Structure 1
Amino acid sequence: MEHRPDSLGAVSQNDKKAGRNKYYSGPVSDHFDGTVFFNPGGNPPNGLRDLLKWQFGEKRNRWPASFDSPYSGTAPDARVDAGGLRITMVGHATMLIQVAGLNILTDPVWSQRVSPLSFVGPKRVNTPGIAFDRLPDIDLVLLTHNHYDHLDLDTLSRLHKHHKPLVITPLGNDRIVHSAVPHMRMETGDWGDHIDLDCDVRVHIEPCHHWSARGSRDRRMALWAAFVLETPAGRIYHIGDTGFHDGGNYRAAFDKYGGFRLAILPVGAYEPRWFMKDHHQNPEEAVEGFEICAADHAVGHHWGTFQLTNEAIEAPTEALSEALVKKGISPDRFRALRPGESWDIPAASQGAESAMKNAASGNL
C-alpha cells in the first residue's frame, strides 16, 4: 500500500497563527509550494473582483424550485458481483458505484444545502435518488476535494455512524473530516499514490485541474484529485471536478492506463465561461476528454441538483446531446443520469480490453 499518513496534528498552533497551511505539512513538489497546492502549468482560482463581477454583473437562469426525478426512491441491490459494474445517481456528484462486490460512494451529500450555513446557500431541487436509510452497506467513500458540494461533514458523520466506510481522499482533507468525525477511517494520498484494497481493487489518486477551499482563509490548502479504480471488472476513471486544461490530464490518464471501461465526468456548473472555464469543463469539453482517455462509456454528473452557476437546469444535457451528435458518438455511450437512475455499464470493447491487458503487463 502506497499512501500518505494521516495529516492530523501535522501543523502546529504557531503555524495556524502565522496564517500557514492548517491542513497539511509536507515537502515541496511540482504542485505544492510548501504552503498551498496548485495546478502545474495551470491557473489559480479567480479572485474577489472577478467573483463580484460574476455575482452582480451576470444574469443567472432561473431554476425551478423542484426538478423531481422519475427514478427517485431506488432501492439498490445489496451487491453487484462477478464482472458487473453498476452506477446509480444519488444527485450532483454523489453516485453509488457497485463493482467487485464493493459498494462505493463518491463525494456523498445527503444534506439539503451545500453551504457552510444550514439556512442559506444552494438548495436541492430534488430528493436524493437513494434515501439514506435504503443504502446498501457502504464499504468505501471516494472524496475528491473539500468544496461544500463534495465534502459534506453531516453526511460523512451519518455514514460513519451507520456504515463505518473507509474514506480515501487527497492530502489535507483528512484533517477537515476528522475535525467533525474524529474516528472516521481514512487513507490520504498525493497525486500518483495508490491504495490497495483486500478485494483485488487498487485505487489510484490522480491529477485534475481544480482548487479547494472551505472559506476565505484556506484556499488551496488541501489537495484536489481524480481517482482511477483498477478492478476485476475493468478500469474506472472518476473526476469529481475539473477544468479541461487543454486535455492534459486526460492524455496523462490514457498514457498511464491505456483506456477505461467507464469514465465518470462532470458536465455541469460551467457558465459564465470567462469565470468557470479554468476549473469547470463544459459538456463539449467532457466529450472531448471522453475521447482522449479512450473510455468505452461515460456517466455525466455535477448537474441538475444544486444551482451553483448560471446555466439553465437542463442546459448540460442539451449541450451534451449536441456534442455527442457533433462527434458521431452514440448517446448510449455517454449518459447524464438523473437521481435514482441506475446504469449497468456494458462490458468493455475488445480494443479497450486489449489496452487494459497491455497496461497490466507493462506494455504501455
Structure 2
Amino acid sequence: MNRSLLVVLLCFICFIEIPSHAQSVEEEEVTYKDFIIDSENVWLLTTNGILKQVNLNSGQLAKSTTTIDSMVVAITKDRKGAIVIGDTAHYLKQYNKQTNQWHDIGTYAGKLTGIIFDNQNRCLLVTKGGLVDPDKQQTYFPDNSYSGNKSIRFIKKGWVATPAYFIDSHDRLWLGFNYGEWGGDVFAFDANKRRFIQLKKDSIQLGLNPVFGFCEDPSNVYISGGVSHMFMTHGSILKVSDQTINSLLLSRDVETPVNVTTMQPDGTQKEGIMTTWRGGHRIGPVAYNPVDKCLYFFSQLGIHKGELTADLSDIKQWQNILTPELQGSGGQQFAAGPGMNVQKMVVTADGTLFFLADHEGLGIYKNNELRFVK
C-alpha cells in the first residue's frame, strides 16, 4: 500500500470514528431527588449525587461553591440555618456562606438515607441499619413489636426498604415505608428520649397503606401514600393525634361502565358497555399550608387542596387546584405499576407551594402561577 493511499485511509477512519465517539458521550438525563430552600436560593440534589444552588427569582445558578470531592447522598438544613450534606466518602459536611467553603463536621458508616436535626440542633442520621447518633456512634432500631405490617419480615438490624422521614415540632422523627402491593409501615422515634414510640394503629390497615410522605399542622401529623398495582389504584391520608393513627382519606378505584364500539365479523359496528376501574388517586407527598390552613396532596390527577374544617374523608371535598404536565416516572420496586414522579412537596410561611418533579425540577406555585427552576 503506497503512502498516499494510507493517509487517505487513516483520514477516513478518523472521520467515521469521531462522530461515533461523540454520540456515545451524550449528556446523561438529570433527575432530582431532594431540595432545600435557603433564603433566595434553592439547593437541588440529583439522583446521581450532583448538588447545585439555583436562585429562586432568576432561575439561574447561584454563585459557585467549593467543589465537593464525592457525590452527595443526603442534604438538610440544621436549626441554625446551615446547609449540611452527607457524601459517598462517608463524610458529613457543613456549608459556610461567609467563606463559601464546606467543612467536615463528622463521619458515618453504612448506607445513608437522610440527615435531621432536632430542636436542640442535635444530629440524627437515617441509615439502612437504623437511626444513628453520629456523636455517640449509637444506633437505634425497633423490634417487631413496633411494626404495624405483619406481611413484611424484618431483616435484623436493617430496613427492608428506604424510608421517607420527617421530624415534627415535638422532636418526633417519623419513618414511613412503601412496600407497594404489600402496603406500608410507619414508626415514630422520640429524639429527646432516644427511643421508639408505640403508636396506636388498630383502626387502620398498614398492609393496605403504603407511606410516601409526612407533614404537620399545629396539632396533628399527616401521613400520605398510594400505589398503582396491576389495574387498580388507591391512595390514603392518615391523621395522627396523641400517638393514635386514624384514616382521614381513602381514595380507591371504583367500578365504572364505559361505552365501547366493537367491529363485528360482517363489518358492522356494535355499541356496548365495558366495565373498568377508575377514579382512585395514587397519592404521593402531602403538605400543610399555614396561610390558608389547608392540606395539599399530589397524585397522578394533580395537586388537590382540602380545608381541614371539611369532611376530608370525601374526595369531593378536595379541590383540584393544579394539574401540571409532568414527564412520567419508571415503575415501582414493589408493585406492577407506574411510580410517583413528584418526590417532595412543601409550603413555606408565605403560602408558596414548592414541589420536586423527577425530570422538570422544582415547581413553584404562587399567585395561581406555576414555573420551574432546575
User: In which range does the TM-score fall when normalised by the shorter chain?
Assistant: under 0.3
Higher relative contact order (CA 8 A, sep 6+): 1
Largest Rg, 1 or 2? 2
Structure with more of its chain in strand, by fraction: 2
Structure with more of its chain in helix, by fraction: 1
